[in-house]
Chains A and B, each alone.
Chain A
């Protein structure tokens, strides 16, 4: 029984069929980027266990890669594999296992976001690229702010959000992945509070570039038993902060990209962009920063292809913003990835394995003609 299972799961045919399906996935997932953008395509085909086409479910990237990993591992239990002349083959496949395990770790545990810092100012927060959250901040205490955060999975219509920090209840009425504001002339706005007493939130189609999407949320506040009860709306990146006042407390509310607070801060001293002389082609970008930990600053230069690694995080020069009055703002990508060493090791292992295998098999494949 065990042998049969190993035989089934370690079959090279299983590997071939998985490969065929993976190739189909990669092709569809690449071509569809033209229509739905990279992020949505990646979520649908590669970072999923299943996706549906019409109403028929198909296995997504994670299922296929898991199957391939099982296939590779079962292969290691084959009796006739462990021979000296198959050493190269064994090493290559071990490398393949490491690569897939690393990919799994990355898919599960890595996070990436951005850190936007103006020249002369500092930051200790990383904003996730994609995930939104609802932040309700109690600002009544002059000594500290109290944050209450609700994550995106809670945003389905009709959900009630309650927390001991808050003396009111929130009922989600609507959540939009991409929205815009329109002035609400002539419509009755009874019961609407804050921004929504003057504006309507209108849903838009999702943009291909996920960074351009502006999510919005509409929710009902109840339980303050005052004029504060009513319907509120928030949109990502709004310029006027939304406030809420109850009898005893004052709150600020925001729909924001998920924030991670770091145990250290980064201060931007100078951002530099160098062009190839006389052209519009950039030669290099760099940020001169101070890494401040326990109030002790340390100067660091982050350049293209030369990131800063610190406490499990890696900071890359990703982008920049130039304001018309000459102020520069750097955009650093911040990545936290536990699996990042796996590709390095596995690529070396696989290359060594393939080279070994070629050393063994090449002489027979390129036999010199007998003269």
Chain B
């Protein structure tokens, strides 16, 4: 508990000083820009993504190492990296296929352990890759993934080997021609930048027979041989941290090794590579001030790139967001809110309900700030991926719960908000476990105007619809618990109907806006595509409920049941239609979600009808 409060305190402090933090000029190693997945992101995010892919978590837990430290250790000590037990294999079949033992060290294996097994199974791997992705079984897709992972790992490990001081020169003349002192070690990159003088010095070797070589010439020959060996790492092009040449039109950043393929190195690239070399050396020697100096000149190097200017404050925002875990902390406050509400049912109702309310507000503020920062980083509206829909629906429900709590002041809003906010955060974590949640968008979605209008409106509709369904649940429960308190039941029913009208507004307007977007970009307002039909079903269901109420076909109990069942339709439209994997909207497919949807449907059917009939049987008894 103490560590929790410490974290909260640190977090508040961080938020307060955050403004000043951005103004500070120094570059931290976490904020080094790198291009991955089509965008420029901080090295910290890259490190976390890699840790997640290989290890399954965003930090190396069993060594208590942050992702960035782990990555930097790989760079400074590649050989040790190949020994590090970092690959988390969860499937015993894969372990068997690699002829490894299943029991070792919580199923974590090193590159050097896995590689021999992979070499023996190349025929199998080739046959897997000849299959289409959807035809592979679980073993095959995991084996293929592991193969890709260890290949990528090998590449990452060697990405900066050209900057390591691996070559020692003792002869004074050679050392002088390379601008170092005798006995000093230097890197491939440094030697290549003085290759002209080395070339002059090596002329003698070619003309003389080997037994006439001087000590110096022998050293040069050895050095050339070693350089040749080291250049075997040239394949390691994973780390795209260097802005391209100013004449480049592709926008593709390059990796350090690519600089030595014979191209002309431009001033900003030279500065970056030299600063990075200094940084790695300083880090190896644990010299903090030298590290900071190197990073300072690194930043200057990046800023001297004549192309599109790199926005360091955005990078800083992102690595701060990575560290702050705003959504986890928001979850903690939601859970606390629920606990305090529970306490309020036993003692000091008013006091503890207020504390619970405050806790919910704090969680909501963190939630909001997280969404806000993500918008700033990607400079786009809040929702564009399925992960973001989950986060935003949570936001909407908690927001409305706060309003309801403010109006009712009886804990109902806190109850709704804390439970659903926490649940949706959990669902969100499930999605976040798949990789970087800040993704680039395909062309048709790449429109901030429509993301801001249609997508936001429809997700507001999903959120408020679920909210109405939750109140529906509560109404039925209260009907069983306090059937005689008609004033309370009446007020809950009114709230539910109010939220239903709001939900209808957003789903109707959002669906029509979607049609207008489709008209703008595909040329038809309505195409009976599964996602469109899903949204339409929500609208139709809600229209039906409203008119059933109007025509007397649905009394309050039935209306509540109808809104509970509406939840099933919302979930079907939100996640279910992706399962059909057809249609223009089938992005965001996640395997294994079918089971969850079925479980949810069964839960809603059982609790909905169960409470409905229970409430009615009570009424009958009472008559």
Q: Chain A residues with Cβ under 8 A from B408's Cβ?
A: 369
Decide if A284 touches B443 in the complex (CB within 8 Å).
yes
A343 and B551 contact, Cβ closer than 8 Å, known pairs A23-B540, A34-B580, A369-B407: no
Interface status of A243 (Cβ within 8 A of chain B):
no
Which residues from chain B contact A42 at a C-beta distance below 8 Å? Answer: 527-528
A78 within 8 A of B: no
B526-548 vs A, Cβ < 8 Å mask (1 yes, 0 no): 11111001101100110110011
Q: In angstroms, how far is the closest chain A Cβ from the Cβ of B411?
A: 12
Contact of B38 among A26, A281, A350 (CB under 8 A): A281
Task: Say yes or no: A13-B551 contact (C-beta < 8 A), given A305-B521, A361-B501.
Answer: yes
Is B519 within 8 A of A30, CB to CB?
no
Q: Is the C-beta of A279 less than 8 angstroms from some C-beta in chain B?
A: yes
For the complex, give the distance between the alpha carbons of A30 and B508 in Å: 19
Measured CB to CB, the closest approach of chain A to B417, in angstroms, equals 16
A99 to B511, CA, bound (A): 13
Give CA–CA (A283, B251) in the complex, Å: 12
Known: A46-B528, A277-B35, A367-B494. A38 touches B583 (CB 8 A): yes
- Give A10-56 interface residues, CB cut-off 8 Å to B: 11-13, 15-16, 19-20, 22-23, 26-27, 29-31, 33-34, 38, 41-42, 46
Smallest beta-carbon distance B201→chain A, Å: 39
Q: Mark B298-337, 1 if CB is under 8 A from A, else 0.
A: 0000000000000000000000000000000000000000
Chain A residue, CB-CB nearest to B494:
A365
Within 8 A of B (CB), among A325-370: 333-335, 337, 340, 343-344, 346-347, 350-351, 354-355, 357-358, 361-362, 364-369
Residue in A19, A38, A307, A351 whose beta carbon sits within 8 Å of that of B529 in the complex: A38
Q: Is A314 an interface residue (CB 8 A)?
A: yes
Does B80 sit within 8 A of A, measured CB to CB?
Answer: no
Given the known interface contacts A304-B521, A333-B523, A365-B497, the answer about A278 and B537 at a Cβ–Cβ threshold of 8 Å is: no
Taken residue by residue from 580 to 604, chain B's Cβ proximity to chain A (1 for < 8 Å, 0 otherwise) reads as 1011000000000000000000000
Give every chain A residue within 8 A of B515 (Cβ-Cβ).
343
A278 touches B253 (CB 8 A): yes
Q: Are the C-beta atoms of B534 and A30 separated by less than 8 Å?
A: yes
Q: Name the interface residues of B405-427: CB closer than 8 Å to any CB of A.
A: 407-410
Q: Are A278 and B450 in touch, CB under 8 angstroms? A: no
- A347's partner among B509, B523, B577 (CB-CB below 8 A) is B509
Query: Is B250 interfacial (CB 8 A cutoff)?
Result: yes
Given A33-B580, A351-B505, A367-B494, does the pair A304, B544 have CB atoms closer than 8 Å? no
User: Is A106 close to B, CB under 8 A?
Assistant: yes
Q: Is the CB of B520 within 8 A of A305?
A: yes
Q: Chain B residues near A22 (CB, 8 Å)?
A: 540
On whether the beta carbons of B446 and A314 are closer than 8 Å, the reply is no
For the complex, is A276 an interface residue (Cβ under 8 Å from B)? yes
How far apart are B250's CB and chain A's nearest CB, in angstroms? Answer: 7
Nearest-neighbour CB distance to chain A for B500, whole angstroms, equals 10
A13 touches B530 (CB 8 A): no
Does B513 belong to the interface (CB within 8 Å)?
yes
Number of interface residues of A (CB under 8 A): 65
What is the chain A residue whose CB lies nearest that of B534?
Answer: A30
User: A368 touching B551 by the CB < 8 A rule?
Assistant: no
B240, CB-defined interface residue at 8 Å: yes
How far in angstroms is the closest Cβ of chain A from B497? 6
Please tell me if A236 contacts chain B, counting CB pairs below 8 Å: no
Q: Across the interface, do B522 and A316 meet the contact criterion of CB distance under 8 Å?
A: yes
- For B253, give its contact among A23, A41, A277, A282 (CB under 8 Å): A277
B480-535 residues with Cβ-Cβ distance < 8 A to A are: 491, 494-495, 497-498, 501-502, 504-505, 508-509, 512-513, 515-517, 519-530, 533-534
Contacts of A285 in B (CB 8 A): 443
* Pairwise interchain contact B505-A277, C-beta atoms closer than 8 A: no
B523 nearest CB across to chain A (Å): 4
Which of B39, B407, B529, B548 is within 8 Å of A368, CB to CB?
B407
If A30-B533, A304-B446, A358-B502 touch, whether A278 touches B36 (CB-CB below 8 Å) is yes
Contacts of A368 in B (CB 8 A): 407
Output the least CB separation between A59 and chain B (Å): 16
Q: Is the CB of A335 within 8 A of B495?
A: no
Report yes or no: A29 in contact with B440, Cβ–Cβ below 8 A: no
The A273-332 residues at the B interface (CB cut-off 8 A) are 275-279, 281-285, 304-305, 307, 314, 316, 318
Interface: A169 (CB within 8 A): no
Provide the B240-269 mask, 1 if CB < 8 A to any CB of A, else 0: 100000000011110000000000000000
- Which residues in A have their C-beta under 8 angstroms from that of B440? 276, 279, 281, 283
Cβ–Cβ contact B240 & A278, under 8 A: yes
**In the complex, A161 has a CB within 8 A of chain B:** no
Q: Considering the complex, give the chain B residue whose CB is closest to the CB of A22.
A: B540
Which 4 pairs of residues, A with B, have the shortest CB-CB distance?
A276-B38, A365-B498, A335-B523, A347-B512
Pairs A–B under 8 Å by Cβ, sample size 30: A12-B550, A16-B553, A19-B540, A19-B543, A23-B537, A26-B536, A29-B528, A30-B577, A99-B512, A112-B523, A277-B35, A278-B35, A278-B240, A278-B253, A281-B441, A282-B443, A304-B521, A333-B523, A340-B525, A343-B515, A343-B519, A346-B512, A350-B508, A354-B504, A354-B505, A358-B502, A361-B501, A365-B497, A366-B404, A369-B410
The residues of A with any CB-CB pair to B shorter than 8 Å are 11-13, 15-16, 19-20, 22-23, 26-27, 29-31, 33-34, 38, 41-42, 46, 99, 103, 106, 110, 112, 275-279, 281-285, 304-305, 307, 314, 316, 318, 333-335, 337, 340, 343-344, 346-347, 350-351, 354-355, 357-358, 361-362, 364-369, 371
